[in-house]
Amino acid sequence: MQPASLLPEKAFRSHAPGYWEKKNVSPEDWNSHMWQMRNRVTTLAGLEEHLVLSDEERAGVLLSGNKLAMAITPHYFNLIHPTDPDCPIRRQVVPRIEETWDDPEEMSDPCGEDSHMPVPGLVHRYPDRVLFLVFDRCASYCRYCTRSRVVSGVGDQKLDTEFEAAFKYLEQHTEIRDVLLSGGDALLLSDRRLESILSRLRSIPHIEFVRIGSRVPIFLPQRITPALCEMLAKYHPLWMSVHVNHPRELTIEVKEALERLSNHGIPLGNQSVLLRGVNDDAQVMKSLVHKLLMSRVRPYYLYQCDLIEGSSHLRTSVAKGIEIIEALRGHTTGYAVPQYVIDAPGGGGKVPVNPDYLLMKDEQRTLIRNYEGKVYEYPEPESAKKRELPAMVNRFSMVWEPSAKW
């Protein structure tokens, strides 16, 4: 592993005003999230004003309205390399013709959310928690979006959340203790509208805490205003999951926005998606998780890319994900190592995937290896030796044949 000083894009930088330098944008405008939203790049002409596009990108942009709209905030656009189609930022937000390829293994709803929706807009897939889809727009659109069917306004479906029915369902189901607000992106709602949702949730006694899943602090850090943070702080315990895939995304402005949230008592976790040509590299991932910790964000999940339609060019192998986790665990602080998960296709939920550290288990000992590949024995206590072995242990015993010294 490289020394931290040699890791790629480890420094925090500001890229403003970048491509907008010649347009004489005032600092007041640049730092306004409303200006950023009004000036998003949404057309082929807007891209070609600043970028040299490949044929695959140009064709993808022309067809993007058939599946998922294109929109890129000026802040995020400044991170894009002007001539390199393999730029890891470009690959995330600039459409490509590969999005139109048919793959029989891909799905419009790979996580099976629609089949777990008792009320329009409310997904109840796990016993004690729900996903509440409160808005159908994002500041920018990720080309691998799991909910491309309902966000941006051009997918096959529309997100018609029935808020009153959702609140009634939450009130009636006392087993629900955790609500995750997502969409789209909940932080694009006005402070007043977002507060009305949070206050209503807080009025339900059995809901213990609320989470917000958002890419806004990365796409649109200007939205993380002191007023927003002060409002959010009224509804603790409130947690937030952000979505950063590449270290270049962690700019000075993003770091300041994340710190502002932390300073208002909001714990932050990051959910990355493993993407080919973006972060499927151990050194890139190591830079990312280190920068996240320096921004007071705990790396939480590394997702295997969902089987969303049009994502084959961005997906990489499960073996690559395991390789990356192996390169992190033991080689950097444990706080920096996310849990690698696959959201089981069709609605099976998140399944953790780890390197094989447990080599063998029988009623006498457990055989394990560490991050260096060294093997160790852990003896079972006498009380455990007398109990019947569970099915999992029997499976390991069948697969592994103990050596003579065992």
Q: Is 138 annotated as a binding residue?
A: yes
Catalytic-labelled residue, pool 147, 149, 248, 255: 147
Q: Which of 320, 350, 365, 369 is catalytic?
A: 350
Beta bridge partners of 131: 123, 180
Catalytically annotated residue among 109, 136, 185, 343: 343
Let me know the angle formed at the C-alpha of 145 by 119 and 278, rounded to the nearest 5 degrees.
150
Which candidate in 125, 276, 298, 369 is catalytic?
A: 125
- Check if 126 is active-site: yes
The question of whether 305 is a catalytic residue gets the answer no
Task: Tell me, yes or no, if 40 is annotated catalytic.
Answer: no
405's tokens: 């010294």
In terms of DSSP H, where are the helices of 66-215?
74-77, 90-93, 163-172, 191-202
β-bridge mates for residue 344, sequence order: 349
**229 annotated among ligand-binding-site residues:** no
Give which of 269, 206, 270, 267 is closest to 238, Cα–Cα. 267
Does the annotation count 102 as an active-site position?
Answer: no
List 144, 149, 306, 340, catalytic entry: 306
Is position 260 annotated as part of the catalytic site?
no
Whether residue 185 lies in the annotated active site: no
What are the residues facing 72 on neighbouring strands?
Answer: 41
229 is catalytic: no
Q: Is 137 a known active-site residue?
A: no
Active site residue 129: yes
321, amino acid identity? G
100-135 CB burial, b ≥16 within 10 A, e <16: eeeeeebbbbbbbbeebbebebbbbbeeebbbbbbb
Alpha-carbon distance 286 to 337, whole Å? 9
Sign of CA dihedral 250, 253, 254, 255: positive
| Residue that has been written with the tokens 């953790």 in this structure | 352
CA 113 to chain centre: 17
Choose the catalytic residue: 145, 211, 291, 315: 145
CA neighbor of 179 nearest in space, from 216, 137, 212, 150? 212
Q: Can 350 be counted among the known catalytic residues?
A: yes
| Nearest in space to 237 (alpha carbons), one of 213, 269, 264 | 264
The active-site residue, picked from 91, 142, 143, 149, is: 142
Question: Using the 8-state DSSP alphabet, how is residue 202 labeled?
Answer: H
Which one is catalytic: 90, 138, 149, 211? 138
Given the residues 19, 126, 169, 235, the one annotated as active site: 126
How many whole angstroms separate alpha carbon 130 and alpha carbon 82? 41
Residue in the structure block whose two tokens are 């926005």: 257
Q: What residues are annotated to the active site? A: 125-126, 129, 138, 142, 145, 147, 306, 343, 350
* Positions at the binding site: 138, 142, 145
* Positions at the binding site for [4Fe-4S] cluster: 138, 142, 145
